[in-house]
Structure 1
Amino acid sequence: MLHVKIPQIDAIVEEAINRAALEGEPQMISYVEQIDTADSIAFLDRAKQVSSHRLYWRSADEEFVLAGAGSAKRVYSGDQHRFNEIEAMWTALQQKAHVYDMFSEKGTGLVAIGGFSFDSKEEKAFPWEAFPDSQMTIPMYLLTNKGDSSFLTTNLLIFKEDHKQQILHQIKSDKNHLLHGERTEVRLPVCTNTSEIQPEEWKDSVKKATEDIKNGELEKVVLARELRVAFKEDVQLAAVIEKLAATQPNSYIFTVESDGEHFIGATPERLAKVDNQQLVSTCLAGTTPRGKNDEEDKKLGQALLDDPKNCQEHEFVVQMIRQAVEACCYNIDIPEKPVLYPLRNLQHLYTPVTATLEEGYTLLDVVSRLHPTPALGGMPQKKSVEYIRNHEVLNRGWYAGPVGWFDGRNNGEFAVAIRSALIQKDEASLFAGCGVVEDSDPETEYDETGVKLKPMLSVLGGY
């Protein structure tokens, strides 16, 4: 990646066209400018007028938001070594790109946003036909909000046949829409029907899993179920993201578009974050509802802290994260006991993990080692994923997979795509899962997944 003194955008485009003709291949350019403070939800809304491909990411623990419009470049992989393959394509792209960025803030310049499916070997398709196994997108236009500062990155793939004035006119028109256009997506969905997908079959699968665990086939497995929702009209994406952001302040808010469909979520669970070589991961396993008052809330929280099943489930995840992080980090710090992590509707057992990333390793190296954690797959890792593939009553697709972003400075963050929904025009699939161990009760686990479905369902107009 070449960093040079910043010329004006017209000179950058002209030079890229000439270079494309000289070298015989398209040229990726990335131009960053600081702009007046911009509203990220409004940007996401107006982006519909520029491109159907829209992306959004809001961090859970800092004032950091990314909103993307259009696609300058997408990288895909369906290979079993998909993380390494995406990393290799990303490295090759960076080496040839010309980046004009005098600010060097994280999340500016070349930034890829997207995610990965839960299981690259999953063969069932419905309802995920529009989503490839992995997809990372470099947006054509990227708004980065960091604290009170806003930056706009313009990423373009320039061909030798392109005309400078035409490109400049398009950039000017698109930026005007994105920063000053009218909002159109302001109505929340009106739910007309909800349908649970194979609830009794799911309970039977939980019962069978407990028997298989008692027989020693595995120690724990996470089983998920699906709720299908219909709406009066096509879902207005920006309105839903705005509501999620308002009601889930301690969650990562995301949306990724593929072929006109949107995978959205408000997940509390970070997988891994790297900022200036400092790694943060999170163990978030064990769940109970919030109380109706402070006394009930504390009682429920203490019961969760004292519950053997949830504590065992949590410790599974802690030890797996420790093993994964030790392979590529030093200065590792993991507290001995979990604490409570409260959300609006739920509270979880929480253990933070911090470390320093070894030179030569990247965020995707960490993600590939962590995914899937026992909180989303089970124990042992390989056996539990195979068990899910063969026995779960749905196709997870991107549910419970890694979703996030990374930039050209090895900064980035991925969360686990739970508390999520696949939006397909006037329909949606919602997903929730629970950890099954040998003494799990199907009805109790069913009720737990119902609690986990409520935050997303309420935003989408359900009960």
Structure 2
Amino acid sequence: MTPSAPRLRVETREIDAVEDLLPYTSPSHPLAWTRKGDGIVGFGVAHTLVHHAGHGTPPLTDRWSRLAAAADVRDDVDLPGTGLVAFGTLAFDDDSARRSILIVPSVIVGRRGGRAWITTISDVADTRDPVPVRLPEPYGPHWAGTLGPGEQTAGGYMESVRAALQAIAAGEVGKVVLARDLRGSVPAGADLRRLARALSQDYPDTWTFAVDGLIGASPETLVTVRGGSITARVLAGTASRGADADADVAASAGLASSAKDLDEHEFAVRSVLAALRPHTRALAAAEAPFTLKLPNVWHLATDVEGELAGAASALDLVRELHPTAAVAGTPTAAAIEVIRRLEPFDRGRYAGPVGWIDGTGDGEWAIALRCAQFDLDATDTAAGIAVTAYAGAGIVAGSDPETELLETRVKFRPIVDALA
């Protein structure tokens, strides 16, 4: 029998301007979702919804709907990210040992379009004193992490790419995305907000996120739902930035004309459109991708826009969209089986959905890329906090194992540089 949802009391009010959101979240367990300085951060925990694969618990979507319906909400600001909000990070694979979780903070501080607010959340039935409104806490001392080979070595990765090419040639899949890992540690007591700050400063056009120890900077919007409108950004196809202006122009032009990358991108766009079409009355995507410039890479990108046909929430659409061809492959079920066979590790939340949802079902979700998972609850004071970083590449017919390995090295750069 499913326990009844608690009744949460939620109050949002406007506050004076906030220069930097990250000092308002926890140094050891940060909750953050920011882009170009705007976004939301959380502190404390008012409630959590957790899903473990194979445990038979109801979907997070249903449990969130019940929690939101029972909440007593007063929102005097009414902007995206106000009112009842949960931060979420979901496992890539239904068979993952890593939990999927929605975290409702006790306190949320947000900023958007020059306005700032604070939200306090508590259980109506909880007679304890509420979590005090958090004052900004200065960043802790600088720290550096160490990363080395993970379970998938460079040589092992190229062997996996060759095996994937055999699966493609045999008609098992048209595309499969293969990842590899780096493992290491950061000092015990490290202020993890520093990592989020470094990523947001170096990659301002990405979504910087921190949820349940997963910290990263994703360029790929899985889905945004706002007032009945939906948007998504599909990224697939990558090239390293050039060493100078001429080489950079050539790199962009080469990516835009690459048959291999264009095929990979088309797979990804088709998978997103197919997932969204049953839930929309209008849906549009550009006929050809554009090249998106990031500090370390060029991506082929396509923006998708539409209007919802029913009452689907952001989490409903996340469930329909994930995993896209951009992070799994196509056909999806067959690609997942190839991933399970060829990757010698559990991806956890890497390449899974990460973002937030509010009490009306609106929200913003990205794909957890350029990220690292910190094991916050298994910290050995001497060994520090264990961390695993991930990066992957899409394999299609014509892929070269060494080139794909180099692509993962480029994609590791944001997290490796931020940990230095």
Structures share fold, TM-score greater than 0.5 = yes
Correspondence 1:343 to 2:294: yes
In terms of fraction of residues, the more helix-rich structure is: 1
CA distance in 1, matches of 2:238, 2:174: 19
Aligned to 1:440: 399
CA 1:434–1:25 in 2, change beyond 3 Å: closer, same or farther?
closer
State the Cα distance separating 1:292 from its structure 2 match: 2.1
1:172-227 CA distances to partner (integer Å, 9 max, x unpaired)? xx22xx225x414241x324552343322222111111111101111111110001
CA distance in 1, matches of 2:185, 2:317: 38
The structure whose Rg is larger is: 1
Is the Cα–Cα contact under 8 Å of residues 315 and 361 in structure 2 kept in the other structure? no
Consecutive unaligned residues of structure 1, counting only runs of 5 or more, are 1-23, 126-130
Amino acid at match of 2:148: T
Amino acid at match of 2:41: A
CA distance in 2, matches of 1:303, 1:83: 48
Give 3-state SS (helix, strand or coil) of 2:59's partner.
Answer: helix
CA distance in 2, matches of 1:84, 1:386: 24
1:28-61 CA distances to partner (integer Å, 9 max, x unpaired)? 21111211122201112xx34xxx543100146x
Give 3-state SS (helix, strand or coil) of 1:436's partner.
Answer: strand
State the Cα distance separating 1:79 from its structure 2 match: 5.4
Give 3-state SS (helix, strand or coil) of 2:160's partner.
Answer: helix
Is the Cα–Cα contact under 8 Å of residues 6 and 67 in structure 2 kept in the other structure? no
Consecutive unaligned residues of structure 2, counting only runs of 5 or more, are 376-383
* 1:200-215 paired onto structure 2 within 5 Å: 200-215=155-170
State the Cα distance separating 1:445 from its structure 2 match: 1.0
Correspondence 1:274 to 2:228: no
Give 3-state SS (helix, strand or coil) of 2:83's partner.
Answer: coil
* 1:376-391 paired onto structure 2 within 5 Å: 376-391=327-342
Give 3-state SS (helix, strand or coil) of 1:327's partner.
Answer: helix
State the Cα distance separating 1:414 from its structure 2 match: 0.6
Give 3-state SS (helix, strand or coil) of 1:295's partner.
Answer: helix
Aligned to 2:34: 58
Counterpart pick for 2:242 among 282, 285, 291 = 291
Aligned to 2:17: 37
State the Cα distance separating 1:439 from its structure 2 match: 2.1
4+ aligned runs moved over 6 Å, structure 1: 80-84
* 1:223-234 paired onto structure 2 within 5 Å: 223-231=178-186, 234=189
Aligned to 1:247: 202
State the Cα distance separating 1:341 from its structure 2 match: 0.4
Give 3-state SS (helix, strand or coil) of 2:66's partner.
Answer: helix
Aligned to 1:8: none
Correspondence 1:195 to 2:149: yes
Q: Normalising to structure 1: TM-score of the pair?
A: 0.83
CA 1:380–1:192 in 2, change beyond 3 Å: closer, same or farther?
closer
CA distance in 2, matches of 1:348, 1:452: 11
Amino acid at match of 1:34: E
Is the Cα–Cα contact under 8 Å of residues 328 and 336 in structure 2 kept in the other structure? yes
State the Cα distance separating 1:387 from its structure 2 match: 1.6
CA distance in 2, matches of 1:183, 1:91: 36
CA distance in 2, matches of 1:94, 1:360: 14
State the Cα distance separating 1:235 from its structure 2 match: 3.3
Amino acid at match of 2:198: K
CA distance in 2, matches of 1:235, 1:400: 25
CA distance in 1, matches of 2:282, 2:55: 28
Aligned to 1:85: 59
1:309-364 CA distances to partner (integer Å, 9 max, x unpaired)? 10000000111111112110122111110110000111100110000011222212
CA distance in 2, matches of 1:430, 1:457: 8
Correspondence 1:179 to 2:132: no
Give 3-state SS (helix, strand or coil) of 2:242's partner.
Answer: coil
Amino acid at match of 1:195: P
Is the Cα–Cα contact under 8 Å of residues 30 and 192 in structure 2 kept in the other structure? no
State the Cα distance separating 1:398 from its structure 2 match: 0.2
* 1:290-329 paired onto structure 2 within 5 Å: 290-329=241-280
Is the Cα–Cα contact under 8 Å of residues 83 and 368 in structure 1 kept in the other structure? no
CA distance in 1, matches of 2:187, 2:29: 23
Q: Normalising to structure 2: TM-score of the pair?
A: 0.91
Correspondence 1:450 to 2:379: no
Aligned to 1:99: 73
Select between 30-39 and 207-216 the one with higher mean Cα deviation. Answer: 30-39
CA 1:434–1:428 in 2, change beyond 3 Å: closer, same or farther?
same
Is the Cα–Cα contact under 8 Å of residues 106 and 409 in structure 1 kept in the other structure? no
Amino acid at match of 1:70: G
Counterpart pick for 2:318 among 357, 364, 367 = 367
CA distance in 2, matches of 1:84, 1:294: 53
Q: Structure 1 vs Structure 2: percent identity of aligned residues? A: 33
CA 1:444–1:331 in 2, change beyond 3 Å: closer, same or farther?
same
State the Cα distance separating 1:77 from its structure 2 match: 2.2
Amino acid at match of 2:325: P
CA distance in 2, matches of 1:446, 1:225: 9
CA distance in 1, matches of 2:12, 2:328: 40
Give 3-state SS (helix, strand or coil) of 2:180's partner.
Answer: strand
RMSD: 2.2
Aligned to 1:14: none
Amino acid at match of 1:190: A
Q: How many residues align?
A: 407
Give 3-state SS (helix, strand or coil) of 2:135's partner.
Answer: helix
State the Cα distance separating 1:441 from its structure 2 match: 1.9
CA 1:324–1:349 in 2, change beyond 3 Å: closer, same or farther?
same
